[in-house]
Structure 1
Amino acid sequence: MTHKITFYPVGNGDCNLISFSDGASMIVDCNFRQEAEEEDSPYFDVWKELTSEKLNTKFGLPFVDAFVLTHPDQDHCRGFAEKFFLKDPHKDAPSKSEKDDKLIVIGELWYSPRVFSEHSRELSDDAKAFKKEAERRMKLWENNDANKNKDGNRIRIIGYFDDEKIKNLPDSVKAFPGDTVKSLNGSSRKEYRFFIHAPFKDDIEGNDRNCTSIVFQIKFDVDKTSDVGKVILGGDAEWRVWRKIQEATDDDTNLKWNIFEAPHHCSYTFFSDSRDNEPEQSALNFLAYREGNGYIVSSSKLIKPNTDNPPCQKAKNRYLDAMDDKEDEDYFKCTTTKDDEGNEVYNPVVFEIVADGIKPVVKTKSETKANRHATTPHYYG
């Protein structure tokens, strides 16, 4: 079994599945669009694929070893309240209706208190449900509940915090920028590890809610060869965050990437505050950490030469200019594309991490046919 990472087509939003070679899985953000579940919908039904094909089963429900919320914007947590099992499965056995609804059990929840404390908007119901679930899991530790460190109840705190209750949690469930996490859902992992880059303790000048996204690198081993693949994910983090990450990282190997998800759905904010500005040198420096045949992925609607931001055509052009293969767009992938007839196509962007590196998984025309459509609504992140 190989490692695999899937970037799902959810408009301007994020929903990524990482399937590890040891059978474990991780979902990073979710944007489950209700219209994708409608009969004959042209959009890709992410939740259906996850619950019917991709996830293991535990407690009679689909099961994911970890769920990471990079930050609580709605396009990163849409559907969380409705699609996940948010109770102690050891005390509250799933009901028949919950099994029929295929609610997903989360083994370990990755929670950053800072992304909530710095969030300046009213939280959506889904973001509130995530925070409530994190608080439920932390309460188990506070009460020394026998189920606190079992599947469906585990929690990992990412980044810094001011909450005295969180301080009382054991160090084994905390991770700060500069830490390498070598376990997932209560088990040590030999074939992959996570390096935490952000959020930082100190404030970063700029748009506060996009300066506190969880940013992390995953390093993958294959067949006893270390660091065959490196993936960096960072939610909506803007250019100031990437500058600070480079300043704070002593070991350049933690900045290397073979796959980099364009922050904020290919917004220009990775390069500068305004699309009229030249790119910040720090952004270009980060892109230079590309290793081998590195790929940039835009989780967004179709990128067009218009004024949208995100996604921003000018940002895409900047990414291409910074790559060695700037004349070849094969190394820039978007989750929304066009077929030969000009129809929009919604298919996951999938990569395998194998012994000789990163390999994109190419779908056949017959596999993409069901996901064609001529128009795209606007989903702004």
Structure 2
Amino acid sequence: MAATTTHFRVGNGDMTLVELESGRTILIDIRIRADADHPDGEASDVAAQLRSRLKRDAAGRLYVDAFLLTHPDADHICGLRNHFHLGTPEGWSKSSDKILIRDMWSSPIIFRRANRKSHILCDDAAAWATEARRRVAYFKQWGFANTGDRIKVLGEDIDGKTDALGAILIKVDETFSTIDGAFDGSFSARLLGPLPPADDAEEEVLSKNDSSVIIQLTLASGTQPQAARYLVGGDAGVAIWERLWTKHKLAPEVLAYDILIAPHHCSWRSLSWDSWSKKREEAKVSSDARSALAQARPGAVVIASSNPVKDDDNDPPCIRAKREYVAIVKPVGGEFRCVSDGGGDEPLVIETNWAGPKLKRASLIGAGLYATGVGSEALAHG
């Protein structure tokens, strides 16, 4: 089977389902608002769309093989308690029929933020933190974990707090291909962030958006082990992208992508220190941050998981950021896509086969449906 990624219409938020060629699934962030759950709500019913794409195990439980939370802001974790089972897998209830998370992938920053008055966790993020602690404690007690109790801790914490985690700790610049305790050759993931603070003064800044998990995710298809590369960065801001470029500019392939999910919902704050609303066209782009985000491969697509991008003072999404991304991908024959563009409620879908990734979003145009390929190449609708 081909690998696919589904980018749900959640406005200024993130929610992406990765379906590997092996059949395993990785969910990256969620934003399932109350309005999306209401039958008469205007928001897309992304929970139903997600559930329709998932499988059930032998016990009848819907599941994702892994759930990656880039960082614990509400627009990345909203709906967790209503739609996902938390607690021991044995406690799953058929009557509630919530989705089982086989393997949690989480940054240790969730624990520090849970104890900070300056960055209070929303209820869903607090529930994630509680479940993450349960799974870490389970591993510490038994030295192993089974499906529904597993967790990967992405990145080291300060003061050696994660030193004893052994097999469940993924350090920055490490590459892994395991999911729910099994090796899976249809993907590899290289952890690029969260980066540790450069000094004590930077710690407070990095405790929020700039502590986002940043991953280069490589999908295999057929005989092609690198059929598609995704760069995912949560809400990482300009300071982090500048540091990543300084760190990797001699080996920029670790930042290369076919698909970039534009950080922070196509925010100018990932590309510049200047305020867009205050300085508008006088705002200056950071050359280092732009370079980090400019490692586009031929035909690359930048995806904005955001509201429609308009020429106004909003940030995110920001029209100036969109223009920068268009300028990045145009020379390589790529394109920029906003998930909220187009008619209907259907998500944007990218399918990857041996020839690489192709956009397959069906959207109502006039009386017909259409589908497009990455870059300028079109797919026949089928």
TM-score tier by shorter-chain length is 0.7 to 0.9
Q: Distance in 2 between matches of 1:190 and 1:322?
A: 31
Q: Does 1:306 align with 2:312?
A: yes
**Tell me, what secondary structure is at the counterpart of 1:143?**
helix
Residue correspondences, number: 354
For residues 307 and 201 of structure 1, the distance between their equivalents in structure 2, rounded to whole angstroms, comes to: 32
Could you tell me the TM-score, scaled by structure 2's length?
0.86
CA distance in 1, matches of 2:216, 2:351: 16
Deviation at 1:203, TM superposition (A): 3.9
Decide whether aligned partners of structure 1 residues 115 and 325 sit closer, same or farther in structure 2, where only a CA change above 3 A counts. farther
Pick from 180, 183, 196 the counterpart of residue 188 of structure 1.
183
Residue 336 (structure 2) aligns with: 332
CA distance in structure 2 between the partners assigned to 1:44 and 1:294 by the alignment: 27
Question: Out of 275, 278, 282, which is 2:284 matched to?
Answer: 278
Contact kept, 8 Å, 2:220 with 2:227, in 1: the verdict is yes
* Cross-structure match for 1:223: 222
CA contact under 8 A between 2:246 and 2:288: conserved in structure 1? Answer: no
Please say if 1:96 is aligned against 2:94. Answer: yes
Unpaired runs of 5+ in structure 2? 369-382
Query: 2:165 corresponds to which residue?
Result: 169
C-alpha spacing 1:130/1:254, structure 2 compared with 1 (3 Å)? same
How far has the Cα of 1:310 moved from its partner?
A: 0.7
- Distance between the aligned counterparts of 2:271 and 2:157, measured in 1? 29
Aligned sequence identity (%): 28
Instruction: Tell me which residue corresponds to 1:246.
Output: 245
Deviation per residue, 1:129-157 (Å, 9 max, x gap): 00000011011122217xx5211010101
Larger RCO (CA within 8 A; separation ≥ 6): 1
Amino acid in the other structure paired with 1:159? G
Do the aligned partners of residues 368 and 313 (structure 1) sit closer, same or farther apart at CA in structure 2, a change above 3 Å counting?
Answer: farther
Amino acid at match of 2:193: A
2:359 is matched with which residue? 360
1:163 offset after TM fit, Å? 7.3
Alignment counterpart, residue 201 of structure 1, candidates 186, 191, 196: 196
Shift of 1:116: 4.4
1:104 is displaced (CA, Å) by: 0.7
1:167 CA drift (Å): 3.0
Find the counterpart in structure 2 of residue 377 from structure 1. Answer: none
Q: CA 1:115/1:290 → structure 2, altered by over 3 Å: closer, same or farther?
A: farther
Alignment gaps of 5+ in structure 1:
340-344, 370-381
CA contact (8 A) 2:9 2:340 kept: yes
Q: Does 1:45 align with 2:45?
A: yes
Which residue identity does 1:27 align to in structure 2? L
Corresponding residue number in structure 1 for 2:376 = none
The answer on whether the counterparts of 1:106 and 1:152 sit within 8 Å (CA) in structure 2 is yes
CA RMSD of aligned residues (A): 2.4
Matched to 1:158, the amino acid is: L
Cα deviation for residue 264 of structure 1 reads: 0.6
Hey, what does 2:28 align to over in structure 1? 28
Task: Name the structure 1 match of 2:372.
Answer: none
Distance of 1:166 and 1:142 partners within structure 2: 11
Q: Please identify, of 113-122 and 8-17, the stretch whose mean Cα deviation from structure 2 is larger.
A: 113-122
CA 1:165–1:121 in structure 2 vs 1: closer, same or farther (change >3 Å)?
A: closer
The answer to whether the Cα contact below 8 Å between 2:27 and 2:68 also exists between their aligned partners in 1 is: yes
> Per-residue deviation at 1:211?
1.1
**C-alpha distance 73-334 of structure 1, shift in aligned 2 (>3 A):** same
The amino acid of 2:95's aligned partner reads S
**TM-score relative to the length of structure 1:** 0.86
**Closer/same/farther in 2, CA of residues 218 and 33 from structure 1, 3 Å limit:** same
- Of 250-259 and 190-199, the range deviating more from structure 2: 250-259
Question: In the alignment, is residue 16 of structure 1 matched against residue 30 of structure 2?
Answer: no
Tell me by how many angstroms 1:42 deviates.
3.6
